[in-house]
Chains A and B, each alone.
Chain A
Amino acid sequence: MKKYLVAAAAAAVVFGMSASDAKAANAAAQSNTGCGLGAVLIQNNDSLLAQLAMTLLNGTCGNGTFGITSGTSNCKKADKIASNEVNTFVASNMDNLASDIAMGSGESLSTLAELMNVPTAERGEFFATLQSNFSNIYTSENVEAADVIDNIVAVTKG
């Protein structure tokens, strides 16, 4: 009995780690797309084999694309701002931007201000207005990037 317990432990550890777990080893990021909150890359790489594969193959994963053209987002565009840059940036940074707006500061928020051509001197006020209007910008959990932009324009216009 004891012998089999030991064997089971040994087999589980030695072979469990070298058995090929295609999903983990490939470490392919699953893209959780969408135009709302939670549209981010999801990759669960906590498994032992994924860790080992990461060590052995550090940096070997990638894609060969040149994503230079602006306005590649598949999300609908805001009515009030036509800029591809603004629309793409908000759609691609929904979660971090929401966080920054609620927290009143952060890089995603500063980037949005720059893309919207908010003068540096007025940014403090811009950030404060967005923070205090958080519920008016993110009106529901199903809010999409285009709505967020339109709501931002609406709360900062007056």
Chain B
Amino acid sequence: MKHLLRGYAIFSRRVSLFFCLILAVLIFPSVCFSDENPYAAELKKAASEKKLAQSRTWEVLLHYKPVRGGVESLVDDPFFFLALGGKRNPEVELNATIDALFDASTDEKTNPRCRFVARHEWLIKELSIDVSKLPAINCAMFNEAMRNINPKSAALVFSAAHINAPASMFGHTFLRIDSDKESKLVSFAANYAALPTDTNGLIYAFKGVFGYYQGFYSILPYYTKVQEYNDMDQRDMWEYKLDLTEAEVRMMVYHLWEMKDLYTYYYFFDENCSYTIMFAMEAARPELRLTDGFGFSVIPVDTLRKIRDSGIIKEVEYRPSRSSKIRHVASLVGRSGSKTAIAVAKKEIEPESVLSSGIPATEKIEILDLAAEYSQYRYTKEKMEKGEFQRRFLAILKARGTIAEKSENVYSVPTPAGPEAGHRSKSFSLGIGTDSGRFYEEIRLRPAYHNLLDPKEGFIDGSQIEFFSLGARHYPERNNGELEYFDFLNILSLTPRDIFFKPLSWKVRTGFVQRIFPDKDDHLVYRTSAGAGYVAGFGALRPYVTVDGMFDISGRLEDSYALGGGATLGFLLSPAGRYSAHLYVRATSFAFGDTHKTYEAALLQSVKLSQNNSLMLEVKRERTFGIYSTDAALTWRYFFDFI
């Protein structure tokens, strides 16, 4: 109901404005503006002389972006604009905003001065408006919100992927608004995200990519975000303190308030969380040009680099996830200590038996802390009932409380390389090779994001996400060029299992690829393959095995398809430093459609030359339809982005 009322109030204002404009242009301009407040007319004239509608701040606050024939706001909610046509006309919108200064309505939910505080604050300053000539208004809700937030400074927060949740590797960014409190947990987080309305995974993915969901800003206590990312999703967080003044941060919060309850269509690739949150930073300091220059995709870590390059990052803080803490403390107590901690968490032994054992006090602390963290982890993964968790958790902590030593004096989690230390998101590769004796030159393009063997700093080891990856070859001997592959999606996650975490590793790939046919030549097929399995970890070496399914479609196949299953056995070697290698053998038996078998073996190696350059040597041997082929290539890869 409130929503309707607000809508009606804004609508009626807009309708009257609309008729005004029509009349103004067509018949009697004087009739229309005759009852206009003379001060408003004066202000509009001044605004027009100062060209405020074309100013950078106005562009930022209204989210205007250049389009053919002018500008257009990225915000889609009609209630965001005070003027009809305000989405494409900054001038009309500015004049409507000046008119709105004289709105004497008392419902602060619809009064534009309580709703669009940043715009009005800025206008009052730019035009040196005498506030005493404006109607007195009371924005009680807004004032209370400002009292509670008490904005003084701000930080950009990047929630990275965690080794145990490799699918989250794109990361996510949001803002933290700090008060003058020392404790950041009670700061507020400002987040932009889509509100999905479907539960079916495929519809959800489609709508997320093509802008069918509305995105909204939200503001929540920061501890709820920390619990969500660190404790529940097991994602490490990075906090980048921003070099913004108190007045700038206030403007940021004012602008977030303006965006409250208003939607912008969400597009997974470009108008996404990380992109849209940067408007709040531009509102703080309009000279920053953060939302310009991105191509068709915006990856959170790219926005992070762009923000870093703008020079407003002061200092970085690392906030490890629960599983990062578990892994670290486990590395201190070793395998037997870890086993004891797990036994305590699972109620196989009592925490008092740790206290009474003869080990040093620091080791007791580590084991009990590890048991407490691990029982929390198990509870959030629904491995324990609530009552069982409460009893166990409390028993462990009671025992821990009897050792009068602070855990922070015993251990702290070391800070790993930050996400911004990684290679850039797009890559371009040039290579030469031979395909069963025929020489070729190859180029590869990949708009996003990371290959298993790309330089690993800042990424999760053993993970790969590639979108729209393309390879094309030229065979000089036959003087023909051909598409070697075009993957819409190629994801691989090789996460080792250990005594604490038992992840399932998986892979999925779909796209066009060349494969051998009985005519002994390569032809393009559309292939979808997927697999799941287990990975073990022995230091830098990760042996793995997956069960695979494969589905090929091509008019050249009998019945136009081949569907089969098989298995992959592989070894990933990823020591610290520049070198990585991946060796695998794969057998697939196509049992349906065009029945046949295929066997592959491959050794892929890469050496990092610099943060954004690497060299790869790939050798593959394959037997399909009884025909052998061997491919070897040497490739130079360069990582870049346009921003």
Contact = CB atoms under 8 A, between A and B. Distances in A.
A115 B223 CA distance: 14
A92 B222 CA distance: 11
A14 interface: yes
Contacts of B208: 56-57, 60
B480 interface: no
A121 interface: no
Interface of B: 144-145, 148-149, 165-172, 181-186, 188, 191-196, 198-205, 208-209, 213, 215-221, 223-224, 227-228, 231-233, 257, 260-261, 266, 268, 272-274, 300, 365, 369, 372-373, 376, 379-382, 386-387, 389-391, 393-394, 396-398, 400-402, 404-409, 465, 491, 493, 503-504, 506, 508, 528-532, 547-551, 563-566, 589, 591-592
Nearest to B228: A41
A24 B529 CA distance: 21
Contact of B193 (A4, A61, A142): A61
Contacts of B565: 5-10, 13
Given A44-B381, A103-B406, A142-B390, A61 B194 contact: yes
Interface of A: 2-15, 17-18, 20-26, 29, 32, 34, 36-38, 40-46, 48-49, 51-70, 85, 89, 92-93, 95-96, 98-99, 101-108, 110-111, 114-115, 127-128, 131-132, 134-135, 138, 140-142
Nearest to B198: A26
A104 B114 CA distance: 45
Given A42-B380, A128-B404, A135-B401, 19 more contacts: A6-B589, A9-B547, A10-B564, A25-B204, A25-B205, A38-B389, A40-B380, A51-B165, A51-B167, A55-B169, A56-B209, A61-B194, A64-B261, A66-B145, A66-B260, A93-B227, A99-B372, A107-B184, A114-B181
A22 B204 CA distance: 9
A38 B219 contact: no
Contacts of B273: 59-60, 62
Contacts, number: 298
B199 A60 contact: no
A131 B313 CA distance: 37
B399 to A, nearest CB: 8
A14 B551 contact: yes
A7 B592 contact: yes
Contacts of A40: 227, 231-232, 379-380
A58 B168 contact: yes
21 contacts: A3-B591, A6-B589, A7-B592, A10-B564, A25-B204, A37-B390, A38-B390, A42-B380, A43-B232, A59-B172, A62-B215, A63-B218, A66-B219, A89-B223, A93-B227, A102-B397, A103-B406, A111-B186, A114-B181, A132-B401, A140-B394
B231 A107 contact: no
Contacts of B191: 62
Contact of B394 (A96, A103, A132, A141): A141
B89 to A, nearest CB: 27
A46 B503 contact: yes
Nearest to B172: A59
A22 B564 contact: no
Nearest to B531: A13
A63 to B, nearest CB: 6
B201 A59 contact: no
Nearest to A23: B199
A14 B590 CA distance: 13
A93 B205 contact: no
A1 to B, nearest CB: 11
- What 5 pairs between A and B have smallest CB-CB spacing? A62-B193, A134-B401, A64-B216, A25-B201, A10-B565
A69 B209 CA distance: 34
A77 to B, nearest CB: 18
Which residue, B170, B185, B491, has most C-beta atoms of chain A within 10 A? B185
A65 to B, nearest CB: 5
A57 B268 contact: yes
A interface majority secondary structure: helix
A18 B381 CA distance: 23
A29 B274 contact: no
Contacts of B196: 26, 57, 60-61
Given A62-B218, A99-B372, A114-B181, A55 B491 contact: yes
Contacts of B205: 25, 53, 56-57
A141 B397 CA distance: 11
B533 to A, nearest CB: 10
B530 A14 contact: yes
Contacts of B528: 14
Contacts of A114: 181-183
B566 to A, nearest CB: 8
Contact of A68 (B148, B232, B549): B148
B199 A26 contact: yes
A75 B202 CA distance: 39
A105 B408 contact: yes
Which residue, A14, A42, A107, A140, has most C-beta atoms of chain B within 10 A? A14
Given A92-B221, A114-B182, A115-B186, A103 B530 contact: no
A36 B391 CA distance: 12
A65 B401 contact: no
A62 B229 CA distance: 13
A62 B196 CA distance: 8
Contact of A98 (B380, B394, B551): B394
A53 B549 CA distance: 19
A14 B199 contact: no
Contacts of B216: 62-64
Given A48-B506, A51-B167, A93-B185, A106 B407 contact: yes
Contacts of B550: 10, 14
B182 A131 contact: no
Contacts of A21: 201
Nearest to B397: A102
Contacts of A4: 591
Which residue, B196, B228, B409, has most C-beta atoms of chain A within 10 A? B196
Contact of A104 (B184, B373, B406, B503): B406
A27 B213 CA distance: 16
A118 to B, nearest CB: 12
Contacts of B182: 110, 114
A96 B504 CA distance: 28
Nearest to A24: B201
A112 B217 CA distance: 28
B528 to A, nearest CB: 7
Contacts of B508: 17, 52
Nearest to A100: B407
Contacts of B491: 52, 55
A127 B165 CA distance: 34
